[in-house]
Chains A and B, each alone.
Chain A
Amino acid sequence: MTTTGTPALDLQGIEMHYGFVRALDGIDIHVNAGEVVALLGDNGAGKSTLLKVMSGAHRPSGGTIRVRGEEKSFHAPSDAADAGIQMVYQDLSLVEPQDIAINLNLGQEKLRRGPLGWLGFVDRKEMRRSSEKELDRLGVRTAPMTRPVEMLSGGQRQVVALARSAIRVNGESQGILLLDEPTAALGYEQTKNVEALIRRMADQGIAIVVVTHDLPLCYEVADRIVILNRGKKVADLAAAGADRDHIVGWITGSRPSMFETAGA
């Protein structure tokens, strides 16, 4: 699965502070095209922070970001989106009072044809139709397109947020998809669907980083596992054959870091 050569996304020495809180401490992480990297760690380990640095939502205090070998500095998520990076945030980042179709199309609204389109009038019907088609293509289903997001269940919201990023990254030939706990609110069947979706997208050559607390899911989809503990990377290993107890040890901090123990 893993293709060698330049990684799709490569972060070196990433530092991030929230005031005096040091959330990330010299993180090196990369993901290749077509590879799924599972990012594990306890609550507050810095997983979301690291993903937000990758998506341009946060600017790191230090370190470099390379996209397909090219050094980038993201000032806003739109910069990352231009580089083919899409993220599903842990808080989902949906606009509650607007309907599903608008949420799926936010930032890429379809305008009407003709003079009304020049004036900026949106084509709601077309957005509904195309969104429905895209959802079908992804093999996910949620509520009717005209339903405001605030009237959806937690799981339905999660599907909308996931679908939005998946649709956008699907159009890219070399996209990068960042998922922050994409299955946290989903039931058994929906989790399986999302697993399959992640695998399918990776097989198309999309690079994926997925944060999760769900170890079975991680074994199911990931090629590689990266573990954070209190803002430091403590393990980076192939998923196949990784020992479950070791992983849990790294997550809880009871097992010393793969990187420091070598010398200590």
Chain B
Amino acid sequence: MSTDSVPTSGASVAGADSPGPAPAPSTTTGQDMPRSVSVLVFMRDRGIFVLWGLLIVAFAFWCSPYFFKVDNAILIANAAALTALFAAGVGIGIMTGVLDLSLPGTAAVASCVCGWVLTHGHATWLGLAAGLGAGVVVGLVNGLITIRGFNPIIVTIGTLSVLSGLAAVIAGGYTFPGLTQLEFMGTHRYLKVGDSFSGIPAPVFIVAAVFIVGTVFLTRTRDGIRLMAVGANAEAVRRAGIHADRYRVLGFVISGVLGALGGLVATANVTEANPNASPAIIFTALTAVALAGVALTGGRGSLPRVLVGALILATISNGLTIRGIQPYWATVCTGALLLGSLAFERVLQTAVSERLMAANLSVHQKKV
């Protein structure tokens, strides 16, 4: 993403160290960033894509011939879809400066609201709109409480608790089964080609749309860029004359809508609305987000990497399942991978800094 990558061409590390008058235009002593630094920076920003590639190659050999197949790829994509939706919600929240822990509750309420509307004989679109609307309302409530100066983590823990209770109230202590009208966005497959290609499941399309729209929004549009800026330094954005609080609320609303969407897709997958809010959702999503290297301090990170984070989790559990390894080993693996990626990032960061320093020094020596 253009916001977190380092311009490698024409950006001289050492030559531009003197802000001063520009008597003659372009007197910059331009010098390219050392090659090794560009490579390291690339590894830092795109390392997760490389990691995913390596995993695929490894599993392709280890789980041959079952793993490296179109059908299996679709399975992985479908398995990653739910995690990816929640990870997008958590990720956008963190990038914009809020950790929204109420997502499982939002998902449960959205799913039950939709279930209620559908079982009371209303149109499908109305049920979906009501579910997403519930997400908007939750986001607004979270946001409006938080901008009064309360800690977002505590606030969303509170709303999580309220929402899980509310979902059960809406469902009257039961579930809403038999919501077959939602199949079109659940298990249904599109783009089928005769017998040769069984089609792509609906959630994959939804995830693709969410990530494309989200990425374009956060990097290309005014509101998206401001949202990211608020995540990095809300007070600075306020001092620049922007109503920063509105953007903090917007961050919560987006996160709420994505949580609701995740709940609706989960409901569609099993054609049943369940009021149980599972906190595991948030931890899986956080794992994907952390793998993507999204800094918890906010203002940094990119959605495509979050998507790959979710895909890596799904790839590992798929590969291990094919080999017949117990599923709990998958969580051991992802945990170890996460810790490993932290160490990797630290090493890369130090290497980059060292090289930049060395480059600066050598230029100064040349000048003397």
CB-nearest residue of chain B to A93: B236
> Which residues of chain A have C-beta atoms less than 8 A from B354's C-beta?
none
CB distance from A65 to the nearest CB of B (A): 17
By secondary structure, the B interface counts as loop
Counting CB contacts under 8 A, is A77 at the interface? Answer: yes
Q: From known contacts A98-B228, A106-B237, A146-B11, infer whether A122 and B221 are also in contact, taking CB-CB under 8 Å.
A: yes
Whole-angstrom distance between the alpha carbons of A134 and B12 in the complex? 21
Partner among A77, A147, A156, A189 whose Cβ is within 8 Å of the Cβ of B7? A147
Q: Is the CB of A78 within 8 A of B7?
A: no
Measured between beta carbons, the chain B residues less than 8 angstroms from A143 are 11, 16, 19
Q: A247 within 8 Å of B by Cβ?
A: no
Q: Is the CB of A96 within 8 A of B25?
A: no
Please tell me if the beta carbons of A106 and B11 are within 8 angstroms of each other in the complex. Answer: no
Number of A-B contacts (CB under 8 A): 123
* Interchain CA distance A87-B25 in the complex, whole Å: 28
Is B71 positioned at the interface, with any CB of A under 8 Å from its CB?
no
For B220, the chain A residues whose CB sits under 8 A away are 121-122
Which residues of chain B are within 8 angstroms of A146 by Cβ–Cβ distance? Answer: 7, 11
A76 CB–B CB distance under 8 Å = yes
Of the residues A96, A97, A120, A144, contact of B11 by C-beta under 8 Å: A144
A223-250 residues at the B interface, CB under 8 angstroms: none
Stretch of B51-59, B142-150, B238-246, B307-315 that contacts chain A: B238-246
- A141 interface residue (CB < 8 Å to B): yes
Q: Which residues of A are found within 8 Å of B25, using beta-carbon distances?
A: 136
The answer to whether B238 touches A76 (Cβ under 8 A) is yes
Are B222 and A81 neighbours in the complex by a CB distance under 8 Å?
no
Q: Which of B310-360 contact A (CB under 8 A)?
A: none
In the complex, which of the residues B10, B17, B28, B225 contacts A156, with contact meaning CB atoms closer than 8 Å? B17
Complex Cα spacing A144 to B242, Å: 25
Known: A77-B239, A146-B7. A120 touches B221 (CB 8 A): yes
Task: Tell me if B16 and A120 are in contact (CB < 8 A).
Answer: no
| Shortest Cβ distance from A106 into B: residue | B240
Residues from chain A with a CB closer than 8 A to the CB of B17 are 153, 156
Q: Is the CB of B242 within 8 A of A106?
A: yes
Q: Which residues of B contact A139 (CB under 8 A)?
A: 21-22
Give the residues in chain A near B18, CB-CB below 8 Å.
141, 189-190
- Contact, CB under 8 Å: B6 / A151: yes
- Chain B residue nearest to A78 (CB atoms) is B241
Contacts of A77 in B (CB 8 A): 238-241
A129-172 contact mask (Cβ, 8 Å, vs B): 1 or 0: 00000011001111110111001010110110000100000000
Given contact pairs A93-B233, A96-B299, A99-B3, a sample of 6 additional A-B residue pairs in the complex whose CB atoms are under 8 Å apart: A57-B239, A93-B235, A98-B299, A142-B19, A143-B16, A146-B7
| 9 residue pairs bridging A and B, Cβ less than 8 Å apart | A98-B3, A98-B228, A99-B7, A119-B221, A121-B222, A124-B2, A156-B16, A159-B19, A190-B18
Binding site for A on B (CB under 8 A): 2-4, 6-7, 10-12, 16-22, 25, 28, 220-223, 225-226, 228-229, 232-233, 235-243, 299-300
